[in-house]
Amino acid sequence: MIRIPKSIHPCPIIDAISEIRFNPSTDPDAVYGVLFSAFRRNFSVTEKLPITQIPQEIRESDGSLFWQPHYRMKNDDFVIQIGPRVISVGVRNEYCGWNAFQSAISDVVDEFRKTEVAEEINRVSVRYVNFFQGDNIYENLRIKIQSTDEIGDLSHNSLNLQSELLGEDKQASKLTITNSAAVNRDGKSHRGSVIDIDVMDSSATLDDLKEKIERVHEKEKELFFSLLKQEFVDTLNPTY
């Protein structure tokens, strides 16, 4: 049985985002205007993203661009990104903890539903990016990486691991682990390791958005701590 802490310190989370993909009930080009009106009071800073410079025909036909946001709205603590078929909520500064993040997500979901821009939900997801400065994270994982004697231990070299894990009830997780990451913090570049987990659920509906987001968050946290050796977790000042 994996013991899952409520928190660890210092917190390794450098990015947290929850995303909702949907099929619009109106002209996709009209989605931003509707959502802008709904959120402009609490998210007053707005900017276009570079994707808006790409011709619409290419955005619609390129699978890597189809779900991308076109605009960003910000306040002091959180950022919303909006596209013709997507809305996401992210943390701007240091991670504020799940309770505060969940509250922000809940407020956005409530306003999003009121606009009725979504005909149906395509999927929801929660993604966390964790950074461990100076560590070769593979030394502290339950994962075993084997190779031939001629190659040697790959985990002692620069190693980028990517995997897609299928779960129950139309859940799936994208897992990326690297021991050679560079992260900019306070104007300085820091090297270390990253664990990037993106958990998604394609069974969500307009009526159960909050519940499904809560569920994928629980799955993300469970997967994160299941990767770490307990003796490593013990060095992270866990609170249970």
The pLDDT value recorded for residue 60 is 87
The pLDDT value recorded for residue 150 is 59
- pLDDT tens string 174-183: 999 999 999 9
Q: Is residue 4 part of a domain?
A: no
Q: Is residue 1 part of a domain?
A: no
Structural contact between residues 173 and 164, judged by C-beta atoms closer than 8 angstroms: yes
Number of domains in the chain: 1
Q: Is residue 239 part of a domain?
A: no
Domain that holds residue 83: 13-234
Q: The whole model's pTM is what?
A: 0.93
Q: Is residue 8 part of a domain?
A: no
Q: What is the arrangement of strands in the sheet containing 188-201, beginning at the earlier edge strand?
A: 45-48, 71-74, 78-83, 86-91, 13-24, 118-133, 188-201, 171-185, 160-166
- pLDDT tens string 153-182: 666 678 999 999 988 778 999 999 999 999
Q: Is residue 37 part of a domain?
A: yes
Q: Is residue 2 part of a domain?
A: no
